[in-house]
Amino acid sequence: MVNYLIVFFAVTLMYFSSADRLTTYIKLIGIQGLLLCGIAIFELNEVNTANLLFIVSETLIFKTIMLPYLLTRIIQRSGVTKVHRLAMPGFNLLLFSIFGLLISVILAKILINPFINTIYLAIALFTLFTGMLLIVTHKLIISHLIGFLIIENAVFMFSLAIGNEMPMMINIGILLDIFVGVLILGFFGLRLKPHTNELTMLKD
């Protein structure tokens, strides 16, 4: 079952590359949260119950519900619905993404050892690559935030690649989540001026 979720997680990453509406990004972030929750339930069966409950509720409440809600509010307030017209076209981004998956698999194969699950590692590297690609090729700061959230999901996947022995890594990922939440609230939710794009544009 967990393999199904990993493959669908990878499929959502491809859709990140091809999407150009911010609402699609938000939906995909929510879906990824749900998939990560499922992966955590099936994979982390050896951690103690309290820790597992914490991780599951974190992915379910924070990643699946709160983050998409906050991001939707930001979009509504700023009135920005699509990625910037100067962002790299989705077609090129998809080509890079396909290439990125190849590189990730080769890297995962090079880094293989008995303690790491290869599929997890490959998809985690691919997630990291997709997040970085989104940050580098897009112009709006909200796209950068989305990229940052994807990288955070990559950290979560990395921790799962190592297995049940590293719950601390997952907790660090959660701390990163909270940091992102503060960032969103601090910079956008409270200070963004409606109907202007002076804070939505990071660079020309």
Partner 1 sequence: MAGFILIVIAACIFPGVILRTKSLLSGRKGPGFFQPVKDISVLMKKGSVFSTTTGLIFQIAPVVTLASILCSLMVIPFGEHRALLSFEGDFIFFSYMLAFGKFFTIIAALDTGSSFEGMGASREAFFSMLVEPAFFILLATFAMFTGYTSFSDIFNNFFITGNDYVMIYSIIGVYLLVQITLVENSRVPVDDPKTHLELTMIHEVMILDYSGFDKALIHIGSYLKFALYGSLIYNLIVPAEWNIFLQTFLFFTVQAFFAVIVGLTESFRARNKMNKNPKFILTLSAIAWIAFVVILIMTDKLV
Residues of this chain that bind partner 1 (CB under 8 A): 3-4, 6-7, 10-11, 14-15, 17-18, 89-91, 94-95, 97-98, 101-102, 105-106, 108-109, 118-119, 122
| Shortest Å, Cβ 91 to partner 1 | 5
Residue closer to partner 1 by CB (options 36, 108) is 108
DSSP per-residue codes, 85-117: TTSPPHHHHHHHHHHHHHHHHHHHHHT--TTS-
The CA distance from 124 to 132, in Å, is 12
| Shortest Å, Cβ 194 to partner 1 | 29
What is the residue type of 130? T
| Shortest Å, Cβ 197 to partner 1 | 24
The CA distance from 175 to 171, in Å, is 6
The answer to whether residues 183 and 74 touch, using CB atoms and an 8 Å cutoff, is: no
The answer to whether residues 16 and 83 touch, using CB atoms and an 8 Å cutoff, is: no
Of the candidates 176, 156, 170, 162, the residue with the CA atom closest to the CA atom of residue 48: 170
| Shortest Å, Cβ 12 to partner 1 | 10
| Shortest Å, Cβ 113 to partner 1 | 14
The CA distance from 56 to 40, in Å, is 7
Residue closer to partner 1 by CB (options 67, 101) is 101
Tokens of 122: 């490959």
Residue closer to partner 1 by CB (options 93, 174) is 93
Tokens of 178: 């909270």
| Shortest Å, Cβ 58 to partner 1 | 26
Residue closer to partner 1 by CB (options 22, 174) is 22
